[in-house]
Copies of this chain bind each other. A is one copy, B any other.
Amino acid sequence: MNLTDSINRPTLHEELVERLRNLVVEDVLKPGEKVPEKQLCDSLGVSRTPLREALKVLASEGFVVLQANRGARVASVTREELENTFPVLAALEQLAGELACQKMDVAEIQRIESSHKDMLSAYEARDRQAYFKANQDIHQALIKGARNDILENHHKLLAARVRRARFLANLSDERWAQAIDEHETMMELLKARDADGLGKAMKLHMMNKLSALVKALKPEVTPR
């Protein structure tokens, strides 16, 4: 009898961390909004203890901000934060690209190519929803391919924080086309297993994403 994977019943607070993080990333809980404990407890059917534990974790991850005796507010997405986050994310993706080239097996690369084609189809159809999905799958898979848990964890958190920015500015046609190009290049480099090249391409891809975002954002954000 081989019971390798033991019963996996996550604790309440773990589930709550996941669910609340999703609510923040999916913009259900809006930036700046305060997070009323009682209300959430009622709607989620838990007591305050595990909820508050989850909020502490979320705060350490940067999704909410705690103020003593004033509870939690959803962290706002500032331009400054984006300008700080993207370079870090870019550095992580660069590393991921390098490692992925070395460590991924052929089947994995083929799966990425499949997601890549899905992405192209979504682009042709101008289906933003499907595009984002395929895009995320690709980046996710490349990170996984790096075989590095630490990298994966930190990337996951930063990527989630940045993902919220999609509610701030729409993807321009121009940027969209450029992104597709960049992905084509990345795909080529991955297949050629050009570690250094893919790393640099992924870094550049991120930084270009930031540029486009800041450009689309600039007018509306207070010039600080």
Contacts and interface: CB of A to CB of B under 8 A. Distances in A.
A189 to B, nearest CB: 18
Interface string A94-121: 1100010000000000000000000000
Contacts of A62: 150, 153
Nearest to A50: B56
Contacts of A13: 56
Interface in A98-151: 99, 148-151
A88 B56 contact: no
Interface residues of A, number: 33
Q: How many of these chains are in the complex?
A: 2
A150 B60 contact: no
Contact of A87 (B10, B56, B61, B148): B148
A178 interface: no
Interface in A152-170: 153-154, 158
A91 interface: yes
Given A56-B57, A68-B10, A95 B99 contact: no
Interface string A5-34: 000011101000100000000000000000
A81 interface: yes
Interface in A191-220: none
Interface of A: 9-11, 13, 17, 49, 52-54, 56-57, 60-62, 66, 68, 81, 84-85, 87-88, 91-92, 94-95, 99, 148-151, 153-154, 158
20 contacts: A9-B68, A11-B66, A53-B56, A54-B56, A57-B57, A57-B60, A60-B61, A62-B153, A84-B149, A84-B150, A84-B151, A87-B95, A87-B99, A87-B148, A87-B151, A88-B92, A88-B95, A88-B151, A91-B92, A91-B95
